[in-house]
Amino acid sequence: MSHQLESYQDEIYLTGMTGSVPDFPTDLSRLGEAARAVMTPEAYGYVAGSAGAEDTARENLEAFRRWRIVPRMLTDVSTPSYASTVLGTELTVPLLLAPVGVLSIAHPDAELAVARAAAALRVPMILSTAASTAMEDVAAANGDGQRWYQLYWPKDRAVAASLLGRAQAAGYSVLVVTLDTRILAWRPRDLARGYLPFLNGIGIQNYVSDPAFQASLSGVADGAAGGGGSDAAVLRWTQIFGDSSLTWNDLPFIRQHWNGPVVLKGILSASDALRAAAAGLDGIIVSNHGGRQLDGAIGALDALPAIAEAVGSRLAVLFDSGVRGGADILKALALGARAVMIGRPYVYGLALGGEAGVRHVLRAFRQDFELAMRLSGLAGLGDVGPDCLQRQPGAGLR
């Protein structure tokens, strides 16, 4: 395990001796800057942008900076292992790919490139309902990789049930239900350009490939639209995308149509986490959607400790929002997460180099995490806890 995890660093240094340097940034905080140079302004703004003044997005990053790692010396980290199993999914390191939609705006190979890279590096991917590639095609590209499916719960229950059935048939093992995007937020970067990919038929491929969705199109005016969807399909998508009437009482519908673990994404309060546990869910993802939905919301990492304390013994608590390097993964684990997801970084890798770019980001994150753990004196995940961190003086809990 140690040799495998060290290999990417060794590979870079060895190729450097021949005069070669990496094709992609090794400073993971610069991935976005590099990707901006190769993406269209509309695409970059959509991926990088957040809601409102983007205060929540900044708060996600600042929340990580408020916690500092306290390394331990003279511990044996010569043969570390950071493998675990979460909801039946085997993790080489506690890292998954967060669901991100419309990936064809970043690279023409889109979700297929991500699926191949994830399978090759044994990192589970979570496919978005808003993917620009049909779920069956992504599953084929992912092969024997591990994959979860994320549902944006549509108003049309027949379409929802059909999407869930297709995902199970295609080998997606865990369902992630996103709670915080029943309506789209005010996103100034997109609004300034009048840009929403879905209205160009991008990101509705799981809908247009769905028989229940197609059946619902009867009587809707048709016409041409870009990205593989007709005007009728786009119009129908706008009518059913989100359901703002959903409540906790609607969750039994999911259990009726999904045979496997169910995770709720977007939990930021301990009270909601306790309701999820009482409702019999299998896990939650502490997330504010990367700051893309509610501006002024609590930083996701600041929400994590209370939630983990409340339900960590009853639910699989996962984390998303603001992870930009290996030390961030360590911090989230120390504050109670069992695994962590990355989103924007791998999208930037996709934009920079397709499958090769995604592979670079995954290898770099895994290497950076493993080194952060070893340099902190932590040989296994069981060694990680709140005592590994210290809150910066003056950084009070919010």
Residues annotated catalytic, as ranges: 289
> In DSSP terms, which residues pair with 172 in a beta bridge?
none
Per-residue tokens: 45:
């703004």
Q: At a CB cut-off of 8 Å and minimum separation 6, what does 132 contact?
A: 101, 102, 103, 104, 105, 110, 111, 197, 202, 203, 205, 227
Q: The tokens 């889109």 sit on which residue?
A: 110
Measured CA to CA, the distance from residue 321 to residue 163 in angstroms comes to 26
Q: What is the 3-state secondary structure (H, E, C) of the chain?
A: CHHHHHHHHHHHHHHHCCCCCCCCCCCHHHHHHHHHCCCCHHHHHHHHCCCCCCHHHHHHHHHHHCEEECCCCCCCCCCCECCEEECCEEECCCEEECCCCCHHHCCCCHHHHHHHHHHHCCCCEEEECCCCCCHHHHHHHHCCCCEEEEECCCCCHHHHHHHHHHHHHCCCCCEEEECCCCCCCCCHHHHHHCCCHHHHCCCCHHHHCCHHHHHCCCCCCCCCCHHHCCHHHHHHHHHHCCCCCCCHHHCHHHHHHCCCCEEEEEECCHHHHHHHHHCCCCEEEECCHHHCCCCCCCCHHHHHHHHHHHHCCCCEEEECCCCCCHHHHHHHHHCCCCEEEECHHHHHHHHHHHHHHHHHHHHHHHHHHHHHHHHCCCCEHHHCCHHHEEECCCCCCC
Do β-strands 67-69 and 389-391 pair in parallel, antiparallel, or remain unpaired?
Answer: antiparallel
